Amino acid sequence: MHDLPAPIRPQIADMPGSRIRQVSEGAFHRPGLVPLWFGESDRATPQFICDAASRAMREGHTFYTPNRGIPELRQTIATYLTGLGRRAIDVERVNVTASGVSAIMMIMEAIVDPGDNVVLVTPVWPNCSDAVEAMGGEARRVALVPTDAGWTLDLDRLFAAVDARTRGILVNTPGNPTGWMARGEDLRAILDFCRAKRIWLIADEVYERLVYDRAVSPSPLDVAGPDDPVISINSFSKAWCMTGWRLGWMIAPPALGDTLGKINEFNMSGATTFVQHGGIAAIREGEPFVAEIVAQYGRARDMVIQRLRSLPRVRMPMPEAAFYAFFQVDGIHDSLALARRIVNEAGVGLAPGIAFGPEGEGWLRLCFAASLPKLGDALDRLAKQLA
Amino acid sequence: MHDLPAPIRPQIADMPGSRIRQVSEGAFHRPGLVPLWFGESDRATPQFICDAASRAMREGHTFYTPNRGIPELRQTIATYLTGLGRRAIDVERVNVTASGVSAIMMIMEAIVDPGDNVVLVTPVWPNCSDAVEAMGGEARRVALVPTDAGWTLDLDRLFAAVDARTRGILVNTPGNPTGWMARGEDLRAILDFCRAKRIWLIADEVYERLVYDRAVSPSPLDVAGPDDPVISINSFSKAWCMTGWRLGWMIAPPALGDTLGKINEFNMSGATTFVQHGGIAAIREGEPFVAEIVAQYGRARDMVIQRLRSLPRVRMPMPEAAFYAFFQVDGIHDSLALARRIVNEAGVGLAPGIAFGPEGEGWLRLCFAASLPKLGDALDRLAKQLA
């Protein structure tokens, strides 16, 4: 960092930064571009959620809130999660956060000392490992195994990666970029292991509603009690199309609540007040919308898989959940270069697999949370490009 | 932390948490309470700002933004700061953040390795030291000296606190809780010192518009060039009554921009989209509002100072800026207990001085960003209580 007038930490200086943005920057305003690189729907937030936030603003909900969130939202989240058919969630376990990623960073601040490690199931979206490394920790990667049927997790390898300096296991399920969904019995085994080792099981479950053969994905919350070492992270971004709102939550043991509030104080001092009111409306009135987008994404998934798999150079495990097609292209060893070539030559914006770790090299991620015509157009172009 | 199912870091476990909230919790809904404990106005956000955010939402501005903020807001901030009569600020130096506190935390992530230290001018609001300590650093405190005329900074003591592990000097000017305002020549001397030592000068300037004898407080940005080791933190919270919005910014060297964007990615992934549109309206249309609240707070300051100073046990340096009366009560050695007694017996919510560091013990902070009748009522009660 020779241009800087004073030093910054090597950990931070050495981070590569988003490889997705390295593809998108400069190409964003390309005419005719079909951007499928980011993890967000092309649909704006439903109007009833916007209306609730606007109303809250007008009514003067513009002051600081408690660090753990306004009581009404915390209760609404507790009721919602309990209604998903898992074990009941008490409001004392609910911590509102200004996004899922903010929750992950705050957890790493809580548990990771320099030299500690957190074991991650990979490939995984890069912010998880960046947050560990920002705290001076090691992000220890255990790769899922791709098969034509889907992705599989080797529990023996996962547990073998844990050592005396491991402070937690982070499982992003359903997973970004893979669409992998942890099985209930695997989550139970991981929970038992974490209990015995006294390490945290951190579950990033922001895609839990974007599932195609059931109502909600398996979760550690199916089996964990309130005092188990489980922190479940969630977000309004994906199920309610609220990426730009920056609102999420954590379910954590009640004994951790004061600590999480304290950490939130010097990170964010709470989530945006009227955004929290929008979150209440999203949960209370949003089920028809969630059903509608899941149906849409399900149709998109079917089409995208069928068409990608028909390409001779493409190999793709079935994404069981979430809204990504993560596929391998035969003969490719530089996914960043390929993604750049595709955006420049075909006008389709994809995320390079290397963005999700070394085990993603040679792969590409396509977000299918877009209209069928738009996806069809992108697939036509991709088919030519990858021919 | 015997109740936790897995460990958390000692640094985090040992943090005391907000002493202000230790006073306010449980007492918040006391009938007849006059709450002057938090650093926020009792006025809601002006309607024109709410309208701009609502309009942006309706227009579909609900997607992710660039980590460093939407270009229009960055340009608006650059133009606004340049218009304050300091050196011109180029848009490449502007980084939008989801609050001032988030900016401080991200800076500490960028510069503080375990064993490093940051020198703080104190007493100061607690999140500054918490952020340093969360990164494993030492918050090294240099106390302002109270005199009847005001607070004074001893530059020799400040510079003597810097050693080989110092990564920055943090100056909150105008200061919370003191109302101290750094003099231009002091800031110039600190900048020269930081340049020579290659350490960062971090200026938290969120109260820069709440000044009573000029248009804006002295700033390192008066004299620093773009490539100087200066990071200036600001926020929409105080000047535009937007505490609940969570929106702020940092002015930093252009060479640090990519790094700050990268750090923002795994902390927040940008500020709330339509909130950023509210920020544009606040700056573009907000000058009459800023003038109005500064006039109001100026009248409040005069009354509060006159009345507090008339109490025999009270000693109070003149707050030159910001919206706090920070005063010492003769014979008091437990400000937390006193603040609790005052809320319980007099129904007035104040912040205990200990919340701002050991050098604040024996002091209390009153936020005078409230209507004159409300302040008059609180002062009547305080006069009786402290008689």
Chosen domain end from B285, B310, B344 = B285
Q: Which residue in A9, A40, A199 is closest to B110 by CB distance?
A: A9
Torsion of CA B337, B338, B343, B348, to 10 degrees: -150
Peptide bond connecting A46 to the previous residue in cis, omega within 30 degrees of 0: no
| A positions 62-101 inside 8 Å of B (CB) | 62-65, 98-99, 101
Mean pLDDT of B325-338: 97
What pLDDT, on a 0 to 100 scale, did the predictor assign at position A30?
86
For B161, counting Cβ atoms within 10 Å of its Cβ (0-12 exposed, 13-18 middle, 19+ buried), the class is middle
Same-domain status, B311 and B278: no
A191 in a structural domain: yes
Give dist(CA B145, CA A135) in Å, integer.
35
Interatomic CA distance for residues B342 and B28, integer angstroms: 13
pLDDT average, residue stretch B359-368: 98
> What is the pLDDT, as a whole number, of residue B242?
98
Q: A323: which DSSP letter?
A: S
Separation in Å, CA of A131 to nearest CA in chain B: 6
Strands A34-35, A200-204: pairing kind: unpaired
**Does residue B79 sit in the same domain as residue B132?**
yes
Q: Taking residues B190-207, what's their average pLDDT?
A: 98
Q: B290: closest CA among B183, B211, B173, B219?
A: B211
Do β-strands B138-143 and A248-251 pair in parallel, antiparallel, or remain unpaired? Answer: unpaired
- Per residue, the 3-state secondary structure of chain B, as one string, reads CCCCCCCCCHHHHHCCCCHHHHHHCCCCCCCCCEECCCCCCCCCCCHHHHHHHHHHHHCCCCCCCCCCCCHHHHHHHHHHHHHCCCCCCCHHHEEEECCHHHHHHHHHHHHCCCCCEEEEEECCCCHHHHHHHHCCCEEEEEECEECCCCEECCHHHHHHCCCCCEEEEEEECCCCCCCCCCCHHHHHHHHHHHHHHCCEEEEECCCCCCECCCCCCCCHHHCCCCCCCEEEEEECCCCCCCHHHCCEEEECCHHHHHHHHHHHHHHCCCCCHHHHHHHHHHHHHCHHHHHHHHHHHHHHHHHHHHHHHCCCCEECCCCCECCEEEEEECCCCCHHHHHHHHHHHCCEECEEHHHHCHHHCCEEEEECCCCHHHHHHHHHHHHHHCC
Q: Are residues A280 and A308 in contact, defined by beta-carbon separation less than 8 angstroms? A: no
Do residues A63 and A275 touch, judged by C-beta distance below 8 A? no
Q: What is the mean pLDDT of residues B137-157?
A: 96
Q: Quick one: which of A367, A246, A268 has its CA closest to B62?
A: A246
User: Does some domain include residue B380?
Assistant: yes
Closest residue of chain B to A202, computed from CA coordinates: B6
Q: Which amino acid is at A122?
A: T
| Range from A115-129, A354-368, B1-15, B322-336 carrying the lowest mean pLDDT | B1-15
Asked if residue B72 and residue B143 are part of one domain, the reply reads: yes
Is there a domain that residue A243 lies in?
A: yes
| pLDDT, tens only, B288-321 | 999 999 999 999 999 999 999 999 999 999 999 9
Question: Within this chain, do residues B268 and B219 fall inside the same structural domain, yes or no?
Answer: yes
Task: Give which of B57, B233, B237 to mutate to test A binding, by max A Cβ within 10 Å.
Answer: B57
Query: Does B362 contact A at CB distance below 8 Å?
Result: no
Q: Which A residues in the span 130-189 are in contact with B, Cβ-Cβ below 8 Å?
A: 130-131, 134-136, 167-168
Asked if the C-beta of B57 comes within 8 angstroms of chain A's C-beta atoms, the answer is yes
Greatest alpha-carbon pair distance for chain B in Å reads 59
Tokens at residue A164, please? 């005396």
Domain annotation covers residue A5: no
Would an 8 Å CB–CB cutoff place B28 in contact with chain A?
no
**CATH code, domain carrying A242:** 3.40.640.10
The Cα A302–Cα A307 span in angstroms is: 9
* Separation of alpha carbons B252 and A267, rounded Å: 19
| Nearest of A28, A20, A40 to residue A369 by alpha carbon | A40
Contact check, Cβ <8 Å, A266/B229: no
For A53, the closest of B57, B243, B262 (CB atoms) is: B57
Using CB atoms and an 8 Å cut-off, which of residues 200-259 of chain B contact chain A? 200, 227-229, 241-246, 253, 255-256, 258-259
Angle, vertex CA B178, rays to CA B356 and CA B77, nearest 5 = 100
B228:A5 CB<8 A: yes
Contact between A183 and A137 under an 8 Å Cβ cutoff? The reply is no
CA distances from B121 to B23, B141, B325 (A): 25, 6, 18
Domain at A331, CATH number: 3.90.1150.10
Q: What is the mean pLDDT of residues B365-383?
A: 98
Contact B167 A112 (CB under 8 A): no
Please list every residue in chain A whose beta carbon sits closer than 8 Å to the beta carbon of residue B4.
Answer: 229, 253, 255-256
Dihedral of CA A186/A188/A192/A198: which sign?
positive
* B372 in the same domain as B232: no
Indicate whether A3 belongs to any domain: no
B196 touches chain A (CB under 8 A): no
In a shared domain, residues A153 and A220? yes
Closest CA to A122 of A157, A193, A171: A171
Residues of chain B neighbouring A168 (CB-CB closer than 8 A): 6
Q: CA A326: distance to chain centroid?
A: 14
Q: Do B227 and A258 touch (CB under 8 A)?
A: no
Write out the two tokens for A243. Answer: 């990426």
Those residues with Cβ within 8 angstroms of residue B108's Cβ, 6 or more apart along the chain or in another chain: B118, B131, B132, B134, B135, B137
- Say if residue B236 is in the same domain as residue B349: no
Element (H, E) at A104: helix A100-111
Q: Which two three-digit tokens encode residue B53?
A: 């955010």
If asked whether residues A204 and A294 sit together in one domain, one would say: no
Residue B2 lies in a domain: no
| Distant-in-sequence, close-in-space partners of B152: CB < 8 Å, separation ≥ 6 | B144, B145
Confirm or reject contact between B194 and chain A (CB < 8 A): yes
pLDDT of residue B65: 94
CA distance B311 to chain A (A): 32
**DSSP code for A168:** E
Token representation of residue A371:
């209209």
Domain that holds residue A161: 47-285
End residue of a domain, out of B267, B285, B303: B285
Chain B residues in contact with A124 (beta carbon < 8 A): none
- In angstroms, rounded to a whole number, what is the distance separating the alpha carbons of residues B307 and B382? 10
Asked whether residue A265 falls in the same domain as residue A363, the answer is no
B54 vs A contacts (CB less than 8 Å) = 50, 53-54, 57-58
- Same domain as A261, residue A148: yes
Indicate whether A281 and A344 sit together in one domain.
no
Residues of B in contact with A113 (CB under 8 A): 9, 114, 136
According to the model, what pLDDT value does residue B26 have?
76
Q: Say yes or no: ipTM exceeds 0.95.
A: yes
pLDDT for res B25:
81
The verdict on A192 touching B (C-beta cutoff 8 Å) is: no
* Torsions phi, psi for B339 (to 5 deg): -60, -40
Chain A residues whose beta carbon lies within 8 Å of the beta carbon of residue B131: 266
3-state helix, strand, coil in chain A (%, to 5): 45, 15, 40
Domain boundary among B285, B317, B346: B285
The verdict on A116 and A184 lying in the same domain is: yes
Quote the CA–CA distance of B142 and A256 in Å, as a whole number: 33
Averaged pLDDT for residues B262-287:
98
For chain B, state the CA radius of gyration: 20
Contact check, Cβ <8 Å, A17/B262: yes
The residues near B33 (Cβ < 8 Å, ≥ 6 apart) are: B27, B343, B347, B348, B349
Alpha-carbon distance A201 to A169, whole Å? Answer: 5
Interface probe with B: pick from A272, A289, A356, most Cβ of B within 10 Å: A272
Give A73's contacts in chain B (Cβ within 8 Å).
Answer: none
Q: Do B266 and A198 touch (CB under 8 A)?
A: no
Task: Name the token pair of B97.
Answer: 């953040």
- pLDDT tens-place values along chain A, 387 residues long: 458 999 999 999 999 988 998 898 878 788 899 999 999 999 999 999 999 999 999 999 999 999 999 999 999 999 999 999 999 999 999 999 999 999 999 999 999 999 999 999 999 999 999 999 999 999 999 999 999 889 999 999 999 999 999 999 999 999 999 999 999 999 999 999 999 999 999 999 999 999 999 999 999 999 999 999 999 999 999 999 999 999 999 999 999 999 999 999 999 999 999 999 999 999 999 999 999 999 999 999 999 999 999 999 999 999 999 999 999 999 999 999 999 999 999 999 999 999 999 999 999 999 999 999 999 999 999 999 998
Å between A139 CA and nearest CA of chain B: 14
Q: What is the pLDDT of residue A120?
A: 98
Q: Which of A50, A135, A275 sits opposite B272 (nearest CB)?
A: A275
The residue of B3, B20, B61, B62 whose CB has the most chain A CBs within 10 angstroms, and thus the best one to mutate to test that interface, is B62
Q: Kindly list the residues from chain B whose CB atom is less than 8 angstroms away from the CB atom of residue A262.
A: 12, 15, 17-18, 130
B212 φ, ψ to 5°?
A: -120, -5
pTM value is: 0.97
Q: Which two tokens stand for residue B349?
A: 């919510």
Q: What distance in Å separates the CA atoms of residue B54 and residue B47, rounded to the nearest whole number? A: 10
The overall average pLDDT reported for chain B is: 96
**Residue B4 domain-assigned?**
no
Closest CA to A219 of A335, A107, A87: A87
Structure tokens at B354: 């200990």
Q: Give, as one character, the DSSP assignment of residue A327.
A: E
Q: Average of pLDDT values for B53-65?
A: 97
Query: Using CB atoms, which residue from A61, A98, A261 is nearest to B98?
Result: A98
A 10 A CB-CB count for B226 gives 17
Query: How many domains is chain B partitioned into structurally?
Result: 2
Q: What is the mean pLDDT of residues B118-146?
A: 98
Chain A residues with beta carbon closer than 8 angstroms to that of B198:
5-7
Query: How much is the pLDDT for B210?
Result: 98
In a domain, A1, yes or no: no
Q: Are residues B98 and A268, on separate chains, in Cβ contact within 8 Å?
A: yes
Phi, psi of A254 (to 5 degrees): -55, -35
Number of C-alpha atoms within 13 angstroms, CB side, residue A385? Answer: 21
**Residue B368 has which token pair?**
């005078």
Residue A121 token pair: 């199931």
The per-residue pLDDT for B149 is 84
Question: Across-strand partners of B96?
Answer: B249
Residues B221-240 have pLDDT tens digits of: 999 999 999 999 999 999 99
Instruction: Locate the DSSP E strands across chain A.
Output: 34-35, 94-97, 117-122, 138-143, 145-146, 151-152, 166-172, 200-204, 230-235, 248-251, 314-315, 324-329, 348-349, 351-352, 363-367
Does B193 contact chain A (CB < 8 Å)?
no
Neighbours of B315 (CB within 10 A): 15
Instruction: State the pLDDT at residue B30.
Output: 85
8 Å CB contact of A246 and B269: yes
